[in-house]
Amino acid sequence: MLRGDAGSRRESLPQRSCSTEMIPLSEEAGRLQEIPVNTMDYAGEEAQLPSRIVSQQNPMPDITPEMASQRRTQQILIVASSLMLTFTGCGLNFAFGVYQELYETMDGPFAGASAAEIDLIGTLAVSLMTIGAPFASAWTKSYSPRSVSLIGGILFAVANIAASFGQKLWHFILTQGLLLGCATCLSYIPAVTVAPGWFNGRRGLAMGIVLSGTGLGGVAWAPLLRYLNATIGFRNALRATGVMAFVMISASALVLKWEPAAEAQRLQEAQGRRRGLNIPRANWPIVKSRPFMAHASAAVMQAAAYYTPVYFFSSYAKTLGYSQTAGANFIALSNACNFGGKIVLGALADRYGRLNALFLTTFVSAIATFCFWLPSTMFFSLAVRRALFITFTMLYSITASAYVALFPTAIAEQFGIQNFASINGLLYMLRGIGTLFGTPIAGALIHDSGLDGVTRSFEKTTIMVGVFLVCATVAAGWARAESAVTTGWKLRA
């Protein structure tokens, strides 16, 4: 219904599923007044329409099938481009183990370097891709997701090509570690910031597909990198992947755009604000709230545990008597489960509640660690230990990786999509900090060796991972309880 200045004339609109939001008219259309704006369902989604000037003489047009079709097309393009960004940026980062395996056997720049020193390259890259999230998210709002991702693609090429000329270990730490981590952050954070706003009813499924690119990338890039290293050498392989990544990231970035309502809000917030580095400011009313503290605690604890098994699947498999090739197959199995788990559990989260799914996936990954990985380090027969480890690899990869996809959907659920872009960067940064301290500690525990230099056990590491995941489960449960306090208890939340 419309309510104008001239009396109480009403116009009947076709009945359709809609919600109502009061927005002010601009002074140019007359004195300030409030009208209800329809928020139509597009393709099963609760769409958010941008604020617009609507007058009695120019009523807001009905939503046509063509408009609904255009939105569906844009949703598909957003998911596809975001998937490609995580596939390229995150996938190449997660395939660093191929380079680490090669670097540990090389002389030249890596002569005398320990495994831990070489591992610092990959740890820096993976940590910085989320530690820089507050800046990437803020710049995405100030400029555009397209511009930020394009800069990330350029830096990706620069980092890889510069690394190909490295002559000392610190050259690779600076380029393939620090610079590549920043490039990945600028490439994919805009995607996970923009994509949730295009969806409501199927947000979990959409983000599951988007972030499944990390697992798919791990499956695809690792064998390609091995092939390139073997055929053209690691330096040319770095140059080739730098060029490929630039092309793929740049093409995907061109599709990224804000959802219309989010774009209108972004432009309104940008009025009167000077551009520049735009150092992000925390939304303190939200940051100081108990729900945010719960999510922050869960984010740090889960990230501190998450990457340790992923990084050391192959190393641990060797302690069970597997060959190097078979050990690498565990990484492929993990990435495949990662890919499928994010999509399936994302769809289930839409049906049964995203906060519920966030809690359950964290809980199951903790159970898997204590019930399968830890016992596999003990005194059982080799066949039993192998069976336990295979079970752990599959169950952990499905559930722990799903947390990464459910994390942004749960934030949007609890704090509102209108606040998502202002807080998700900070929470991603906290995850990066968790990764930065969790993974090196785990590596130090794994390399706890005797005088003979032989690794004695992974027990301490498995216990550390399990404890972190239990803490993350408690924090996720806390976030779920805070939701019940705020909105009342609902089975689906």
Claim to verify: residue 97 and residue 57 sit in the same structural domain: no
Q: Compare 171 and 64 and report the one with higher pLDDT.
A: 171
Average pLDDT score over residue span 451-475: 82
Whether 276 is covered by a domain: the verdict is: no
Whether 381 is covered by a domain: the verdict is: yes
* Full residue range of the structural domain in which residue 105 is found: 71-270
18-24 and 34-42 beta bridge pairing: antiparallel
Query: Which of 104-113, 123-132, 205-214, 395-404 comes out lowest in average pLDDT?
Result: 104-113
Claim to verify: residue 306 and residue 162 sit in the same structural domain: no
Claim to verify: residue 142 and residue 112 sit in the same structural domain: yes
Contacts of 111 (CB under 8 A, 6+ apart): none
Whether 451 has a pLDDT exceeding 50, the answer reads: no
pLDDT, one tens digit per residue, over 220-271 is: 888 899 899 999 999 999 999 999 999 999 999 999 988 888 778 777 766 6
Q: Compare 24 and 467 and report the one with higher pLDDT.
A: 467
Whether 365 has a pLDDT exceeding 50, the answer reads: yes
Whether 289 is covered by a domain: the verdict is: yes
Average pLDDT score over residue span 303-322: 86
Average pLDDT score over residue span 328-357: 89
Contacts of 271 (CB under 8 A, 6+ apart): none
Whether 313 has a pLDDT exceeding 80, the answer reads: yes
Cβ proximity of 128 and 178 under 8 Å: yes
* Last-in-domain residue among 216, 238, 270: 270
Claim to verify: residue 77 and residue 28 sit in the same structural domain: no
The pLDDT value recorded for residue 42 is: 36
Q: How many domains does the chain have?
A: 3
The pLDDT value recorded for residue 436 is: 85
Whether 29 has a pLDDT exceeding 80, the answer reads: no
Q: Compare 407 and 447 and report the one with higher pLDDT.
A: 407
Structure tokens at 167: 């002559």
Give the type of residue at 111. Answer: A
Claim to verify: residue 286 and residue 367 sit in the same structural domain: yes
Claim to verify: residue 372 and residue 348 sit in the same structural domain: yes
Claim to verify: residue 361 and residue 465 sit in the same structural domain: yes
Whether 112 is covered by a domain: the verdict is: yes
Q: Please, how many CA atoms are within 13 Å of residue 155, restricted to the half-sphere of its CB?
A: 24
Whether 65 has a pLDDT exceeding 50, the answer reads: yes
d(CA 305, CA 308): 6
Average pLDDT score over residue span 195-214: 88
Residue with tokens 């994919």: 188
Average pLDDT score over residue span 120-136: 88
d(CA 493, CA 480): 8
Whether 7 has a pLDDT exceeding 50, the answer reads: no
Claim to verify: residue 345 and residue 467 sit in the same structural domain: yes
Whether 27 has a pLDDT exceeding 80, the answer reads: no
The pLDDT value recorded for residue 335 is: 87
| DSSP codes of every residue in 16-64 | -SEEEEEEEPPGGGSS--EEEEEEEEETTEE--PPP----SSSPPPPPP
d(CA 85, CA 226): 22
Question: What rounded mean pLDDT belongs to the chain?
Answer: 81
The pLDDT value recorded for residue 55 is: 35
* Last-in-domain residue among 45, 62, 79: 62
Cβ proximity of 30 and 5 under 8 Å: yes
Q: What is the phi/psi pair of residue 175, to 5°?
A: -90, -60
Confidence band for 366, pLDDT divided at 50, 70 and 90: very high
Confidence band for 100, pLDDT divided at 50, 70 and 90: confident
Whether 87 has a pLDDT exceeding 90, the answer reads: yes
Average pLDDT score over residue span 393-414: 89
d(CA 134, CA 137): 5
> What 8-state DSSP symbol labels residue 202?
T
pLDDT, one tens digit per residue, over 287-311 is: 889 999 999 999 999 999 998 888 7
d(CA 5, CA 398): 57
The pLDDT value recorded for residue 178 is: 94
Q: What angle do CA 446, 452, 454 make, to 5 degrees?
A: 30
Whether 450 has a pLDDT exceeding 50, the answer reads: no
The pLDDT value recorded for residue 392 is: 96
Q: Please, how many CA atoms are within 13 Å of residue 179, restricted to the half-sphere of its CB?
A: 20
Q: Compare 467 and 274 and report the one with higher pLDDT.
A: 467
Whether 12 has a pLDDT exceeding 60, the answer reads: no
Whether 154 is covered by a domain: the verdict is: yes
Using CB atoms within 10 Å of the CB of residue 282, give its burial: 0 to 12 exposed, 13 to 18 middle, 19+ buried: middle
Whether 21 is covered by a domain: the verdict is: yes
Confidence band for 172, pLDDT divided at 50, 70 and 90: very high
Q: What is the CA radius of gyration of the chain?
A: 24
Whether 26 has a pLDDT exceeding 50, the answer reads: no
The pLDDT value recorded for residue 49 is: 37
The pLDDT value recorded for residue 19 is: 42
Query: Which of 147-161, 336-350, 431-445 comes out lowest in average pLDDT?
Result: 431-445
Q: What is the phi/psi pair of residue 46, to 5°?
A: -85, 100
Backbone angle region of 7, left / alpha / beta, with phi > 0 → left and psi within -120 to 50 → alpha: left
Query: Of 195, 194, 209, whose CA–CA distance to 349 is shortest?
Result: 209
Query: Of 110, 132, 99, 72, whose CA–CA distance to 430 is shortest?
Result: 132
Which CA distances in Å does 381 have to 59, 191, 409?
76, 46, 42
Confidence band for 407, pLDDT divided at 50, 70 and 90: confident
Compute the residue count for the chain: 493
The pLDDT value recorded for residue 371 is: 96
Confidence band for 425, pLDDT divided at 50, 70 and 90: confident
Query: Which of 42-46, 201-205, 452-456 comes out lowest in average pLDDT?
Result: 42-46
Claim to verify: residue 356 and residue 386 sit in the same structural domain: yes
Claim to verify: residue 344 and residue 365 sit in the same structural domain: yes
Question: Domain holding 430: CATH number?
Answer: 1.20.1250.20
Whether 275 is covered by a domain: the verdict is: no
d(CA 54, CA 30): 10
* Last-in-domain residue among 218, 251, 270: 270
d(CA 316, CA 388): 13
d(CA 59, CA 55): 6
Claim to verify: residue 18 and residue 80 sit in the same structural domain: no
Claim to verify: residue 186 and residue 300 sit in the same structural domain: no
Whether 148 is covered by a domain: the verdict is: yes
Report the 10 Å Cβ neighbour count for 235. 14
Average pLDDT score over residue span 449-468: 74
